[in-house]
Amino acid sequence: MARIGVFVCHCGENISATVDCGKVAETIGKLKHVAYSTDYKYMCSDPGQTIIKDAIKEHNLTGVVVSACSPRMHEPTFRKACAEGGLNPFLCEMANLREHCSWVHEKNDLTTEKAIDIVRSQVEKVKLNSALQPIKVPVTRTALVIGGGIAGIQSALDIANCGHKVVMVERSPSIGGHMSQLSETFPTLDCSQCILTPRMVEVAQHPNITLYTYAEIESVEGFIGNFKVKIRKKAKSLDEKICTGCGLCTTKCPQKKIPNEFEQGMGMRPAIYIPFPQAVPNRPVIDREHCTYYIKGKCKVCEIVCPTKAIRFDQPDEILELEIGAIVVSTGFDIKHADFFPEYGYGKYKDIIDGLQFERLASASGPTTGAILRPSDGQVPKNIVFIACAGSRDPAKGIAYCSKICCMYTAKHAMLYKHKVHEGKAHVFYMDIRSGGKNYDEFVRRAIEEDHVNYIRGRVSTIYERDGKLIVKGVDTLLGAQPVEIVADMVVLATAGIASSGAEELAQKLHVSYDSHKFFAEAHPKLKPVETNTAGIFLAGACQNPKDIPDTVSQASGAAVKVAALFSQSELTREPLVAAVNRSGPPMYSTCVGCFLCQSVCPYQAIEREDFKTRDGKIIKTVAKINEGLCQGCGTCVALCRSKSIDLQGYSNNQVYAEVVALLNEY
């Protein structure tokens, strides 16, 4: 005979503001098989959990329904409390009175009625629950880090230093990411490359890290602790073991007119190239899309000049299959380019550049070796305008969010310009200055007060060219909305940070969620900012949203700790909410008839065959069997099974019918 305990939570006022919790507890308490029913302000708190534990013992409960928030929030909390009270944790169910009722309805009797109905349905379900045991699965102690920017580098080093193996995959020919393109960094103006390149080298030399550059993720299967990952190593068209990285091929390549990605298109590179002098690994790759040999079938100059004969024109892409325990996604971001802005000429003016292009201009390793020269004619700009929020915080442009880094790097850009061009004038158009962070606001004040950068609060409506100058028309909203017109030599747009190209595709391969801007989504905005909704996959850096370097590094270390914690166990426990094919004694063995329709629809290849044999080895019957390690509990096989031989543990057909019947019937 079932003895169910029902615990109605007020969730502070989240539920009790619209639902009469006392009435819910009282009404449910009168139902058949409900042995105990009560309400409390915070059921998840320590005293709240104690109420549950005590009631289990006192009333000898056989099942518990906690009527509170979403199971996504606190199901683990309450199942643990039940276990501590001596009840199998899977005999605890949650009725979601917050998201499904109190938050979405007004305060009235109907709302309370609906709450009662929701609880009733769970009471009926929990009566049919059975005690389940967690599934144990082994852990492969190798982490995969996708993306070799500063986020990936930090995560990989932290995990590797904990003594675990790390595989790093980077799609471009070198690691380093956007940070390697930056000139100086705010708020200290220390050189970006100087602090980054030693770490890049450390990654390459670390005994626990295997680095695959020019490689991409082909597919990801499996689950936490047991991912199977296919990696496509794109053909670099040379033998890396023989190549010494002398670079002779890159100087002799006749094709030299390819826009250089590392220089943000402000310089050219050959078809066989090393992205930048400090690249890791410092070996060239052939860009087959632009290489004369691959286009016209002849050239092979690089092969002729190579002193070690390392060029391999016929090298195929290689597919690697790896066993991985945890994944850190650190694929970074891109920025909108100037051609996104019709009001600024759709990118047709050469001297309107974006922030990353300015970084390259200001960088000692850049196309001008650090001199601020305008792209059109190589002259030093005497008057320069910086526009913050170019695209960001602009719903009309489809980007409502703040890109976070632009206020700071714009101040830095203006400062760098003033340090290099003393007599020049720098103007910044801004909406607000968002300089939250250690020593950040001081940095902006320094730009304004010490370097005399002219900050104008207002937006720029249009920029056009006239007699070789750029006319910037804006407004100064602090001077009674006066129109401002600046005749500039160069304009720098702090364009919005956006998700990296291919982010959506990768998210789908990884089965992790992403937002409408294609940024990867965290499991909880406050309490699980590093986790994704898929167990064992973590986030680091700007692939989640635009971030500066300190935030990125902190999060990357956070992700590394999550991986290390996972790897500290020899096996993992998984919730046993998986499918099961029924079994019975001979001669039936199971109601399964062995049609294996389930096998053809299972998205996780979790259905195996099991033979029942006589003592002399003759097969009597072959039936389906679920691999509990692979099954994700999606229930597709249950829906398809023609003999109703499969059930989802914890969500059996009978349990769901009981819920529905309870909702349909009066009580």
Partner 1 sequence: MKFGIYPGCSLTGSARDYNESVFALAEAFGLEFTQVPDWNCCGATAAHNLNKELSLALPARILALAEKNGLEEIIVPCAACYSRLVVTRHELKKDPELKNRISEVIEMDYRGTSKILNVIEWIDKYITPKLDEKLVKPFNYKVACYYGCLLVRPNKVLGYDRAEDPQTMDIVMRKIGAETIDYPSKTECCGAGLSISRTDIVSKLSGKIIEDAEHRGADAIIVACPMCHSNLDMRRPDINKYWKTDFKIPVLFVTQAIGLAIGLSPEKVGLKRHFVEVKIS
* Shortest Å distance, C-beta 495 to partner 1: 16
How far is the C-alpha of 420 from the C-alpha of 410, rounded, in Å? 15
How far is the C-alpha of 53 from the C-alpha of 35, rounded, in Å? 14
* Shortest Å distance, C-beta 486 to partner 1: 15
Backbone angles phi, psi at 634, to 5 degrees: -75, -25
Look at residues 630, 562, 571, 545 and name the one whose alpha carbon lies nearest to residue 143. Answer: 562
* Shortest Å distance, C-beta 463 to partner 1: 8
Q: For tokens 């389906």, what's the residue?
A: 624
Q: In sequence order, which residues have a C-beta less than 8 Å from that of residue 59 and are 6 or more positions away?
A: 3, 5, 35, 36
Burial of 254 (0-12, 13-18, 19+ CB in 10 A): exposed
* Shortest Å distance, C-beta 501 to partner 1: 24
Q: In sequence order, which residues have a C-beta less than 8 Å from that of residue 143 and are 6 or more positions away?
A: 155, 156, 159, 164, 165, 166, 167, 324, 325, 326, 327, 328, 563, 567
* Shortest Å distance, C-beta 487 to partner 1: 13
How far is the C-alpha of 130 from the C-alpha of 122, rounded, in Å? 14
Q: Based on CB atoms, which residue is closest to partner 1, 372 or 490? A: 490
Q: Based on CB atoms, which residue is closest to partner 1, 342 or 525? A: 342
Q: Based on CB atoms, which residue is closest to partner 1, 464 or 651? A: 464
Q: Based on CB atoms, which residue is closest to partner 1, 202 or 465? A: 465
* Shortest Å distance, C-beta 629 to partner 1: 53
Residues that bind partner 1 (CB under 8 A): 342-343, 345-346, 348, 462, 464-466, 471
Is 381 within 8 Å of 375 (Cβ atoms)? Answer: no
Q: In sequence order, which residues have a C-beta less than 8 Å from that of residue 501 and are 6 or more positions away?
A: 334
Is 443 within 8 Å of 480 (Cβ atoms)? Answer: no
Q: For tokens 């970074």, what's the residue?
A: 332
Strands 135-138 and 142-146: unpaired
For residue 350 the two structure tokens come to 């050469």
* Shortest Å distance, C-beta 342 to partner 1: 3
Look at residues 410, 419, 411, 402 and name the one whose alpha carbon lies nearest to residue 442. Answer: 411
Provide the β-strand partners of residue 492.
Answer: 353, 386
* Shortest Å distance, C-beta 391 to partner 1: 14
Q: Based on CB atoms, which residue is closest to partner 1, 31 or 471? A: 471
Q: Based on CB atoms, which residue is closest to partner 1, 217 or 472? A: 472
Is 186 within 8 Å of 159 (Cβ atoms)? Answer: no
Burial of 589 (0-12, 13-18, 19+ CB in 10 A): middle
* Shortest Å distance, C-beta 472 to partner 1: 11
Q: Based on CB atoms, which residue is closest to partner 1, 80 or 397? A: 397
Q: Based on CB atoms, which residue is closest to partner 1, 340 or 443? A: 340
Q: Based on CB atoms, which residue is closest to partner 1, 53 or 397? A: 397
* Shortest Å distance, C-beta 485 to partner 1: 12
Q: Based on CB atoms, which residue is closest to partner 1, 461 or 573? A: 461
